[in-house]
Structure 1
Amino acid sequence: MSFTGKTDSYLNSTLENNGFFPDLSLGDLQRLYRIPAEYSKEKVEHHLRLAMLDTNDDLAERQAAWQAEGHNTLAEVSDERLGGKPVLVEHYQRAVFCRATANLFGEFATVTRREIGENQAKEGEGIAKMYRAQADRALRYLLGRKTTITAELI
């Protein structure tokens, strides 16, 4: 039970993905990124779905290349594992969960309009930027870019 009187139970629901990228659990998002239990299932699901769509769009060309190489799922792309889990799947999950968390965090900080809410909103933007940066790092890894710097000749 949380201080709000609401249960701390995690959402027991999984969002189906496009078949290539893994399905993702709302409960995993809540547990791993401390999404407040006060959020409705619909709100968490909506933001997780949007983060999945954005990430899938960013990886569309890479997905096509992997499929052209004969891979049916992201988990098949590499044999590299950490803790028994495919490394690329972990990076994908991080990219999606960080995007969803950044969007959800911004909403949580502005729920109250008192002075404390305004301060949380200001601090919240910094935390949201941090989660967006983590999502970008995970995407760069999936795209084959191991650094955080890219230079292009114009």
Structure 2
Amino acid sequence: MFSGKPIEYQDSPLINDGFWPDLNLADFQKARSIPADVDAGTVGDALLASAAEVNGQLTSVQEKHRAAGHQTTDDVPGVRLDGVSQLTAQYKKAVYARAKADLMGEFASVGRRESHPGQESDETRKGLLAEAALVIRQIKGLKRATVKVI
């Protein structure tokens, strides 16, 4: 139930590798409507694991941009909004979608189904993972789908 009190999120930084942007637990919770009653440590672990997975998938992208003289995602030319590059925004979208998918089991715990209906569904989880995969493909310069001959 709404208590009238402002939601207090965990303002904790996730320090990234220098090329990919640093993230913040509170920003993730707000951007992806993560319930404040989900344990901050659990949310942090999901965000950390997701960032590590996405970083691993984008190693070649990072190497390509660094070889071109771009030391951070915000140095890479492209569309910008309020000083944030499209690469930074895409990276956050992929990490946040994957982290929320990892947290789906938390929404299914006792007492949360009524306050957060539908957030525990397998369809929602699959949609979030598909969103992350699509954004990672875009970052890599790939089309939405490719066909390979086996």
Structure 2 residues without counterparts, runs of 5 or longer: none
Aligned to 1:68: 67
Q: 1:6 to 1:106 in 2, by over 3 A?
A: farther
The structure whose residues are more often helix, as a share, is 1
Q: 1:4 to 1:40 in 2, by over 3 A?
A: farther
Q: 1:6 to 1:47 in 2, by over 3 A?
A: farther
| Residue-pair matches, total | 147
Structure 1 residues without counterparts, runs of 5 or longer: none
Distance 2:66 2:83 in 1: 23
Cα drift, residue 14 of structure 1: 1.1
Aligned to 2:147: 151
Q: 1:35 to 1:78 in 2, by over 3 A?
A: same
| 8 Å Cα contact 1:79-1:86 kept in structure 2 | yes
Distance 2:32 2:120 in 1: 17
Normalising to structure 1: TM-score of the pair? 0.84
Which residue of 93, 112, 121 corresponds with 2:110?
A: 112
Amino acid across the alignment from 1:112 = V
Q: Quick check: 1:29 aligned with 2:28?
A: yes
Q: 1:122 to 1:62 in 2, by over 3 A?
A: closer
Comparing 77-86 with 53-62, greater Cα deviation is found at 77-86
Distance 2:35 2:104 in 1: 9
Q: 1:49 to 1:4 in 2, by over 3 A?
A: farther
Percentage of identical aligned residues: 35
Cα drift, residue 4 of structure 1: 8.4
Amino acid across the alignment from 1:149 = A
**Secondary structure, counterpart of 1:10 in structure 2:** coil
Normalising to structure 2: TM-score of the pair? 0.86
| 8 Å Cα contact 1:6-1:37 kept in structure 2 | no
| 8 Å Cα contact 2:104-2:119 kept in structure 1 | no
Comparing 73-82 with 16-25, greater Cα deviation is found at 73-82
Aligned to 1:15: 14
**Secondary structure, counterpart of 1:22 in structure 2:** coil
Spell out structure 1 runs of 4+ moving beyond 6 A: 4-7
- What value does the CA root-mean-square deviation take over the aligned residues? 2.4
Cα drift, residue 6 of structure 1: 8.8
TM-superposition CA deviations, 1:35-60 (whole Å, max 9, x none): 01011221111000000000000001
